Amino acid sequence: GTVTFVPEKSFTGEGSGVTVKRVDKNGTEITAKYTPTVTPVTPTAEDTTSTGKQGQTQTGKPKFTEGDSRVPMNDDVP
């Protein structure tokens, strides 16, 4: 069979793993261990600046890039 590990969203590191046992038609047992490792997904950001005259409205838009396409940025968070 297949072992599936679904980590909590905030989990990173090595899971405790499980040992799986199989038995062949002759009754011979064999075991193997499955240990998942979860690496962090780290988005990046680029600062922005602006320059203008006194009293002049200025704008800027920092750039945010997701760390992995399977973990999109949450654009609703300020």
Q: How many whole angstroms separate alpha carbon 18 and alpha carbon 23?
A: 17
Residue 78 lies in a domain: no
Domain count, the chain: 1
Residue 38 lies in a domain: yes
Quick one: which of 20, 16, 38, 39 has its CA closest to 30?
Answer: 20
Q: What pLDDT shows up at residue 78?
A: 61
Residue 52 lies in a domain: yes
Residue 48 lies in a domain: yes
Partner residues linked to 32 by β-bridges: 20
Query: Are 32 and 18 contacting, i.e. CB atoms less than 8 angstroms apart?
Result: no
Q: What is the span of the domain harbouring residue 21?
A: 13-65
Per-residue model confidence as pLDDT tens digits over 56-71? 999 999 999 999 988 8
Residue 36 lies in a domain: yes
Residue 76 lies in a domain: no
Residue 74 lies in a domain: no
Residue 21 lies in a domain: yes
Cβ atoms within 10 Å of 19's Cβ, excluding its own:
9
Over residues 5-34, the mean pLDDT reads 95
